[in-house]
Structures are given as structure tokens and as C-alpha cells.
């Protein structure tokens, strides 16, 4: 049974000193006020106990249709992206409607338990039957009480390089996909890749859809589809609705090229999604030593004023056998891998799994402010630094004023018998 709250008390907020009281009415925040002292929570109030309260987590890039299939029908032995696609291609032949619904729902519940209330999932539409897409459209409806789910029509095996690729993408949009995807670096030729980007941008623009392209997910410094995507976003004045996922190749571009590229990226204003755990695992596989990290230039993009968010990408699937749904794990790895453990970066790091993800999803109503839906989480820690140090599951997740998740604080040091 969920509880309707009238307020959250004893909350710490990012960028504000001291404790705060968040009033809630009709499922929305109706007031935010500083509290001079700790207060006792009433029955219809949630006590944040001096912990950090932030907007709910956003998972901006996951593949729910493949979730929980690691090892089926075989394990990815090389650990490469390309063997992952081969394993998935085999598993795809045994997909059923219920199989997709069960695994996707199970994963979304795991995410909800970790304070995620917004998810963008890619769904492979290089399947003549569109089995996974049709199932995911049902999942979107069935899970709407606890998660907002965006569905990307994702051409895993290419648009130009897969039979009827264009028709399958168009049909997916007709059926109700929210976002148009792409995978230009996997197309057979560079020309196919560039053509596919121009085509998918038109498809999205003409149908009022968002865009999220798997772009340059490869260590090849010659993979330069991001410039095509950004130029199209600029031409169509569509940057705030376009996400470039991965852009791993940018980690291998030379600085002179990046200097030119960043000029375009800033003008286009598109969003960036980086999946650090997945990229550390999949990239660098063709290197001996030194081995590249295979991650895009996260700090440099942020410093250029662009929005970057972290996502998990996979959870126990042919590409990545790990994952537990805790965004703090992804954030921790990302900050390490991107040389972002300076305290000013840490202080702002929660944005990478909240606000910046919301910007990528183009969410209009998001954040802790008067009039916004009362959707937030209570973390374990008073500051982003403490939250990151502990990486503990959220203490509470509130959605439209109702408690979705509530758990007791973990205090491992108190369990120690010394």
C-alpha cells in the first residue's frame, strides 16, 4: 500500500545550506522552505533525516529487450561489441512476447527499487516481426505507475545494412516508438552510415520524435558520424531533442579535430550519453598496450556547456554480464574513468544521473521546484561526496507524492563487532 505524503521534512538539497521542508499537495511540490531546526515528522510526512534529497534518477540508455539474457545461448567469449551482436542475433530467434515482457518488467522493478523513475530503452527493430518492440509498447503502459519509459526504435543490425531496415524503422515509429535510433558505425560502409544518419533525422523530424543514435561506439579515430549527426541537428534546429550515445571514438580523436568538432557541437546543442561501465568493458579490445579507455570526452563536453549523462547500457546481457541497477555504481566508475574526482566535479556529479539525463529525455516536468510533480529520492548521505562514498541504495523514492520505495539506512560500521 503506498502512502500519500503531505511533506518531506529534514531534507538537504543540492546547492542550498541547511535543512528544508518540501510541502506536497495534489502530487506536486507546493512549497520549499528552509527549516531552522530538525523537526519530528508527522504521520503523513517523510523524514529525510538530514539526507540529500534529489530528483529521481534517470536511466537514459538501457537495452531492456536484451536484459537478463547473459549466457543465452552462449557467453560472449571475446568481450567485444561485435561478438555481443552475434550472440544477440542468435538469442533473438527465440524471443517471444512474454519473454520480453517478463525480463523488461523484472528489470524495471529492479531499477525502481534503486530510485530510477525515468528510463529510455533501446529496442532492437531489426526483426521482421518486431516482437520486442510490440512487447515493450505493452510494458510502457503496464509499468507507468512507477516509471516513465521512452522507447527507441533501435536498428541493431543497421538501417542501410539490414533487409527492409528503413521500412522496419518507419513501422516502429507508426506503432508508437518515442525515439528514432541509429548505428552508423556498424553499417557496412561509411557512406551507408552517413546516409542512415541523414535519413533517420528526417524520419524523427517529420514525425515529431526524439533522436538517440548509437554513434561512433568504436575506438576507430576515423569513425566520425557525430559530425554528421550534429550538422543535421543544427540544420533542423533540433539539438535539444537529439542524443549522441557513446561517441567512444571521440576518446581517440586528435585534439586538432576535436577543436573543430566542438565548435559544431556547441552550436548544435545536442545531448551526450556515456555508458562508462559498458565502454570500459567493450572498448580497447583491439589494443595491446597502452589500452584506451574507450570513453568519450565527458569532462571536456561538460566544460563546453553541453549536457552529458551516464547510463548503464546493459544489465546482464550478451554485451555486459554485470549490472545491479544502482546508478551510483555507474557514476562512480564514470568519474574514475574520466578523471573527474576533483571535489568541484564530485559536488555536481549527481547531475550526471539526474538533470542531464532528464535533458536528454527532453522531460518538461522534472526537478525539485514548486509546481513540479513530487518525484524525488532520499539518498544515503548529506552531500554528493557522502552519497558517492557509500553508494548505498536510496532510502526512499517518492512519485507524485506517493512512497514507492522505503528502506532503513545501511550502517555497516555499526554491524562490526569490535
Applying CB under 5 A, which part among 44-52, 84-92, 308-316, 358-366 lies near Fe ion?
A: 308-316
Span interacting with Fe ion, options 66-74, 287-295, 309-317, 328-336, rule CB under 5 A = 309-317
Q: DSSP assignment, residue 219?
A: S
- Nearer to Fe ion by Cβ, of 284 and 318: the residue is 318
Are 93 and 340 spatial neighbours (Cβ–Cβ below 8 Å)? Answer: no
- In angstroms, the CA 354 to CA 384 distance is 12
Question: Which residue, 127 or 313, has its beta carbon nearer to Fe ion?
Answer: 313
State the minimum distance, in angstroms, from the CB of residue 361 to Fe ion. 15
CB 133 within 8 A of CB 92: no
In order of 19, 47, 310, 343, the CA distances from 14 in angstroms are 11, 17, 19, 14
Cis peptide before 290 (omega within 30 of 0): yes
Least separation, in Å, of the C-beta of 53 and Fe ion? 30
Taking phi first (over 0 means left), then psi (-120 to 50 degrees means alpha), and beta for anything else, what does residue 26 get?
A: left
Beta strand 402-406 with 116-124: parallel, antiparallel or unpaired? unpaired
**CA–CA distance, 246 with 311 (Å, rounded to integer):** 10
- Which residue's CB is nearer to Fe ion, number 124 or number 313? 313
Query: Hey, what's the cell of 95?
Result: 524471443
As measured in angstroms, the least distance from the Cβ of 282 to Fe ion is: 10
Could you list the beta-strand ranges (E) of 299-371: 308-310
Q: Could you tell me which stretch among 79-87, 167-175, 310-318, 383-391 binds Fe ion (CB under 5 A)? A: 310-318
String of contacts with Fe ion for each residue 142-171, x by CB under 5 A: ------------------------------
Cα 216 from Cα 230, distance rounded (Å): 13
Nearer to Fe ion, 269 or 318 (CB): 318
Q: What's the min distance (Å) between Cβ of 147 and Fe ion?
A: 18
Q: From the CB of 63, what's the least distance to Fe ion, in Å?
A: 6
Q: Specify the stretch interacting with Fe ion by CB under 5 A; choose among 17-25, 252-260, 313-321, 329-337.
A: 313-321
| DSSP string for 303-321 | HTT--EEE--B-SSBTTBS
Q: How far is the CB of 122 from Fe ion (least distance, A)?
A: 6
Q: Which stretch binds Fe ion (CB under 5 A): 95-103, 312-320, 327-335, 399-407?
A: 312-320
Return the closest-CA partner of residue 345 out of 358, 332, 359. 332
- Collapsed DSSP state (helix, strand, coil) of residue 57: strand
Residue 217 annotated to the active site: yes
242 class by beta-carbon count within 10 Å (0-12 exposed, 13-18 middle, 19+ buried): buried
Return the closest-CA partner of residue 61 out of 247, 192, 196, 332.
247
State the minimum distance, in angstroms, from the CB of residue 61 to Fe ion. Answer: 6
- Among the listed residues 59, 217, 278, 351, the single catalytic one is 217
Q: How many residues bind Fe ion (CB under 5 A)?
A: 1
Residue 185 φ then ψ, to 5° = -70, -15
d(CA 250, CA 308): 14
Dist CA 15 CA 12 (whole Å): 9
For Fe ion, give the closer residue by CB, 54 or 156: 156
Yes or no: say if 388 and 379 are a contact pair by the CB < 8 Å rule.
Answer: no
Instruction: Select the residue whose beta carbon is closest to Fe ion and give its number.
Output: 313
Residues found in the chain: 418
Residue 307 CB, nearest distance to Fe ion (Å)?
18
C-beta closer to Fe ion: residue 148 or 313: 313
Q: 313 or 355: whose CB is closer to Fe ion?
A: 313
Q: Round to the nearest angstrom and report the end-to-end CA distance of the chain.
A: 39
Residue numbers at the binding site for Fe ion (CB under 5 A): 313
Q: Which residues are catalytic?
A: 217
Amino acid at each position: 500500500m503506498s502512502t500519500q505524503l503531505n511533506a518531506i521534512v529534514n531534507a538537504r538539497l543540492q546547492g542550498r545550506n541547511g535543512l528544508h521542508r518540501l510541502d506536497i499537495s495534489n502530487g506536486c511540490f507546493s512549497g520549499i522552505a528552509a527549516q531552522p531546526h530538525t523537526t519530528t515528522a508527522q504521520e503523513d510526512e517523510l523524514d529525510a533525516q538530514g539526507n540529500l534529497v534529489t530528483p529521481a534518477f534517470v536511466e537514459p540508455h538501457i537495452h531492456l529487450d536484451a536484459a537478463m539474457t547473459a549466457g543465452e545461448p552462449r557467453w560472449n567469449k571475446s568481450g567485444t561489441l561485435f561478438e555481443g551482436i552475434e550472440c544477440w542475433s542468435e538469442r533473438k530467434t527465440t524471443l517471444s512476447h512474454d519473454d520480453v515482457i517478463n525480463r523488461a518488467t523484472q528489470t524495471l522493478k529492479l531499477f525502481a527499487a534503486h530510485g530510477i523513475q525515468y528510463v529510455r530503452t533501446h529496442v532492437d527493430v531489426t526483426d521482421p516481426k518486431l516482437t520486442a518492440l510490440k512487447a515493450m509498447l505493452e510494458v510502457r503502459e503496464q509499468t507507468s505507475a512507477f516509471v516513465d519509459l521512452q522507447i527507441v526504435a533501435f536498428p541493431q543490425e543497421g538501417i542501410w545494412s539490414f533487409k527492409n531496415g528503413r521500412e522496419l524503422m518507419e513501422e516502429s515509429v507508426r506503432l508508437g516508438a518515442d525515439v528514432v535510433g541509429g548505428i552508423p558505425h556498424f553499417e557496412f560502409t561509411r557512406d551507408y552510415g552517413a546516409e542512415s544518419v541523414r535519413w533517420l533525422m528526417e524520419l524523427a523530424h517529420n514525425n515529431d520524435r526524439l533522436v538517440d543514435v548509437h554513434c561512433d561506439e568504436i575506438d576507430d579515430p576515423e569513425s566520425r558520424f557525430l559530425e554528421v549527426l550534429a550538422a543535421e541537428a543544427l540544420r533542423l534546429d533540433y539539438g535539444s531533442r537529439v542524443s549522441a550515445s557513446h561517441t567512444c571514438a571521440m576518446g581517440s580523436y586528435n585534439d586538432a579535430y576535436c577543436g573543430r568538432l566542438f565548435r559544431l557541437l556547441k552550436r548544435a546543442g545536442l545531448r551526450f550519453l556515456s555508458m562508462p561501465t559498458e565502454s570500459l568493458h567493450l572498448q580497447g579490445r583491439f589494443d595491446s598496450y597502452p589500452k584506451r579507455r574507450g570513453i568519450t570526452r565527458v569532462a571536456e563536453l561538460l566544460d563546453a556547456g553541453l549536457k552529458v549523462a551516464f547510463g548503464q547500457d546493459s544489465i546482464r546481457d550478451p554485451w555486459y554480464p554485470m549490472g545491479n541497477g544502482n546508478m551510483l555504481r555507474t557514476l562512480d566508475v564514470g568519474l574514475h574513468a574520466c578523471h573527474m574526482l576533483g571535489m568541484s566535479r564530485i559536488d555536481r556529479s549527481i547531475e550526471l544521473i539526474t538533470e542531464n539525463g532528464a535533458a536528454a529525455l527532453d522531460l518538461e516536468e522534472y526537478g525539485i521546484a514548486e509546481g513540479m510533480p513530487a518525484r524525488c529520492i532520499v539518498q544515503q548521505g548529506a552531500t554528493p561526496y557522502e552519497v558517492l562514498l557509500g553508494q548505498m541504495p536510496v532510502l526512499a523514492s517518492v512519485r507524485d507524492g506517493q512512497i514507492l520505495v522505503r528502506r532503513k539506512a545501511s550502517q555497516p560500521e555499526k554491524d562490526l563487532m569490535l
